[in-house]
Structure 1
Amino acid sequence: MPETIRTMAGTTALVLDSPHSGTDYPDDFGHACDPAVLRRAEDTHVEKLYDFAPALGAAWVEALFPRSYLDVNRDVTEVDVSLLADAWQGPVATDPRALAKVRLGKGLIWRCTDDGQPIYQRWLSAAEVQERIARCWHPYHNAVALAVDEAHARHGWCIHLNCHSMPAVASAYATEFPGLVHADFVIGDRDGTTADPRLSALVCDWLRGFGYSVSYNHPYKGVELVRRHSAPAAHRHSIQVEINRKLYMDEATLAPHEGFEPLKAHLHELVQRLLAIDPRSLG
């Protein structure tokens, strides 16, 4: 069976993960959507923007499967039962924010693309969804948990960066804020609950110092990966980093442009600064 994740162990207190940059489309996907349209759901090239991180001693976790097949940044209860041919036996989400994403067609298994195109012209079975969870969701979260645990054990603290990209303008089905023109970066810590807000503020300030516009917790606060793998009171800090794709690629062709290398250099400096800080000393 093909590998679904790629991991690299670290030696520092820093962990990075890229949950949405996968491009290995499984044979059992069975989608009816134009592959070129599906590819727009990917956080294209994010794994390349951060490919320097393991050499600096940061742990790395990367999903190889596409986000539209299964979104590891959703909880396993966020099942869109309208996709299923038979009954779902597990619990389903009741949290309003989670339900809002499911209604948009962006639950654990996507129903539609960012512009509302249906992904399937068939029903999925509950067993099929469970198999995706077993093959993709659990290994990914287990790998992030292990990397965070090991980093914390080595140093007594850890910083987890959850790495994403976003379109320049929010699509109709991508968010609760359709048509929003995004900042260059959105830093999210679920309103200060997944990381010390002082650490998040430092990240925002450093990025602004590079000349970027930065939004904090709007419109993206962070979702399941930062929620599940953080505990700021125990010195486990998780921050979601969203990068505007216009900074480094042509959103129509997906090709990197001349902004790619300067952005990567700034991300390299950002990671180096995080490696040099102990969040326990923030005052």
Structure 2
Amino acid sequence: METFRFQPGETPVLISLPHVGTDIPLDIAASMTDAAHEVGDTDWHLDRLYNFAPALGVGFLAATQSRYVIDLNRDPKGHALYRGGDNTELCPTTAFNYSPLYRDGCEPDSVEVRRRLNTYWHPYHRQLEAELAVLKERFGLAILFDAHSIKSTVPRLFQGQLDDFNLGTADGTSASPHLSGRLMNVLSSSDRFSTALDQRFKGGYITRHYGRPEDNIHVVQLELSQSTYMDEEAPYRYRNDLAGQVRPVLERFMSVLVEWAWEHAEGTRQRVAYY
């Protein structure tokens, strides 16, 4: 069973797409509601939106399973991501709009959560950790871009309408401020889009856990408003007219990641074939 797709790149940059998957295994789907089967809280179409990244030499790691199966961007011990906030669980039981994801009495118990950790969560993170180690060994540093998107209005998670670009660096602890500053310059360069840094979306578990700039591993998260590239209601259609306006900014964003990585890379050792 394929739980993720991985393609190595030829630069120190890796893009992670932990919420782009839509698959739900049949045994889990049988216990879920019709609302869950719609997988409405997916980070829709991000693999399509960022399909230019491999041409820049950027590797990618993308989940195939829905976040409703298990959230790859949550602490495996179930610790809350935002203290005092309305957090969804490691294995969510409700959607962002509070719709139940499981039929009565069918919510996953602790044994089932552990099974999903071993089957889906740990393989993704082992691959992620291994590739970051490969990049650091080869180039002297690694940069991880954790890519996300969300509806522009989700009352459960934030008030009002979300900014278009929401860059997260765990309050400046997960990446060099010089890197985040250059990225913010790119995101704020267009009058068409609004931008925020380390506000509502500061970065999830992946950003906070793997970001160690003092060890030359830099992680940034971008939470993109889905109104910039798609229809936010079912059937969640990708909008070429909208995407055509936001993609140039994203392409420059990725180019700056690669440029900054090369500026700070050390050595030119060849990739070790670990896979």
Q: TM-score normalized by structure 1?
A: 0.85
Aligned counterpart, 2:172: 192
Gaps of 5+ in 2: 266-275
2: CA distance between counterparts of 1:4 and 1:37? 18
TM-superposition CA deviations, 1:71-126 (whole Å, max 9, x none): 01001111xxxxxxxxxxxxxx3x6x45656xx46110101111111111224232
Task: Give how far 1:55 is off.
Answer: 2.6
Matches within 5 A, 1:5-16: 5-16=4-15
TM-superposition CA deviations, 1:27-71 (whole Å, max 9, x none): 122343224774221001111111221232111100000011100
Give 1:244's match in structure 2, choosing from 225, 228, 233: 225
Give 1:268's match in structure 2, choosing from 241, 251, 254: 251
Matches within 5 A, 1:1-150: 2-29=1-28, 30-35=30-35, 38-78=38-78, 93=79, 97=81, 100=84, 104=86, 106-120=88-102, 121=104, 122-150=106-134
Q: 1:260 to 1:155 in 2, by over 3 A?
A: same
2: CA distance between counterparts of 1:273 and 1:123? 43
Aligned counterpart, 2:184: 204
Percent identity between the two aligned chains: 28
Q: Is residue 231 from structure 1 mapped to residue 235 from structure 2 by the alignment?
A: no
Moved more, 31-40 or 203-212: 31-40
2: CA distance between counterparts of 1:99 and 1:197? 24
Task: Give how far 1:251 is off.
Answer: 0.5
Amino acid at match of 2:246: L
Task: Give how far 1:17 is off.
Answer: 0.4
Amino acid at match of 1:200: S
CA contact (8 A) 2:93 2:107 kept: no
2: CA distance between counterparts of 1:13 and 1:58? 8
Task: Give how far 1:214 is off.
Answer: 0.6
2: CA distance between counterparts of 1:26 and 1:48? 23
TM-superposition CA deviations, 1:191-218 (whole Å, max 9, x none): 0110112211211110111332110111
| Matched residue SS, 2:124 | helix
Amino acid at match of 1:188: G
Moved more, 34-43 or 237-246: 34-43
Q: 1:274 to 1:48 in 2, by over 3 A?
A: same
Task: Give how far 1:156 is off.
Answer: 0.9
Count residues with an aligned counterpart.
Answer: 258
Cα RMSD of the aligned pairs, angstroms, is 2.0
| Matched residue SS, 2:202 | coil
Give 2:194's match in structure 1, choosing from 196, 199, 213: 213
Aligned counterpart, 2:238: 256
| Matched residue SS, 2:27 | coil
Give 2:142's match in structure 1, choosing from 138, 155, 158: 158
Gaps of 5+ in 1: 79-92
1: CA distance between counterparts of 2:122 and 2:202? 23
Q: 1:155 to 1:261 in 2, by over 3 A?
A: same
